[in-house]
Amino acid sequence: MKPKPQMTLDRVLSRYGLASRSAARVAIRSGRLKVNGRLVRDPELWVRPNKDTIQLDGARLKRARRIYLVFYKPKGVVTSHGDPQGRKTVYDFLGENSSWVAPVGRLDKDTSGLLLFTNDTAFADFITRPDSRVPKTYLVKLNGLAAPEVIERLRAGVEMKRGDWARPEIVRRVEDRGKYTWLEVVLTEGKNREVRRMVEAVGFKALKLVRTGIGPLALRGLEVGKWRPLGEGEIRALRSARPAQSGTSGQRM
C-alpha cells in the first residue's frame, strides 16, 4: 500500500493557504492546533493531512479560498509584515486581504512596481523558482549615458560582487533622456537586488527602478499603491509563462 504523504505541521497550514510558514509556527506554538485530539506545540511535527484530524481553534482544517492579487508597490514601502523603524509596509495597502496572503518574492524599499500576493504556496514557488524561468521585466534609469559597449557587456552577463553572475534574458536601451539612459532589463533568476548590482558591475548606479512585468502580466491600468485580484486567464498565463525572445521590446508602464 502506498504510504500517505507527510509534511510538517507548519507546512500544512502554509499549503492550505491559512498562514505563512512564520505565522503558522507562531499559531502552533501558542497552542491553537490539535492533531487527532491532542494539543501540539511543535511546528515541525510530521503529520499526514489526508489521514490525521487537524484542528485550528477547534475547527477542522480546511483549505482557504485561493487568493491572487497584483499590487503596484510605491517607492519607499517595505515588503514585509512589519517594520521596526515604523516605515510603511505593503500590508498597509491590502486592507482585509493582509492576513491571508504573502508576497511572491520581494521588491526592495527603493524599487517600485509589480508585486504579486497569494496564499497559494505552489503558485508562489513556481513564480520565484529559478528553474521555472518566469521572466521579470524592469525599467531602470542609470546615473549617466551608457555607451553601446556597456549595454553589450550587460547582455553578455556580468560578474557581480561576491562572485555571482547576472545573466539577463534581455537588455534593451529604451531611450537616452538628457544625461541619463533608461534600460529595459528582463531577468529569470531573481537574485537579490540583481538589477542594481549588475549595473553597478559596469560602473553605473540605478537612480530609479520599476518592475513593469512578471511573465505576461504588466502594470498597465494599475495605479501606484493600488491592487486588484488576478483573473483566471491571468493566473493560467502566469503558470505557463516562459522567457521572452531576445529583441522583444515594449515599455509597459
Residue position matching grid coordinates 509556527: 25
Alpha-helical regions (H) of 107-147: 121-128
Which H/E stretch holds residue 203?
A: none
Catalytic residue among 92, 108, 164, 176: 108
| Residue of 58, 216, 10, 242 lying closest to 133 (CA atoms) | 242
Pairing mode of beta strands 54-56, 33-35 = antiparallel
SS3 for 208?
strand
Q: Give the Cβ contact number of residue 118 at 10 Å.
A: 22
Cell of residue 106, nine digits: 520581494
| Residue of 128, 244, 138 lying closest to 185 (CA atoms) | 138
| Residue of 240, 239, 205, 211 lying closest to 224 (CA atoms) | 211
Q: What's the length of the chain? A: 253
Cell of residue 210, nine digits: 520599476
Please list the helix, strand and coil fractions of the chain in percent, rounded to the nearest 5, in that order: 25, 30, 45
- Is 108 among the catalytic positions? yes
Residues assigned a catalytic role: 108
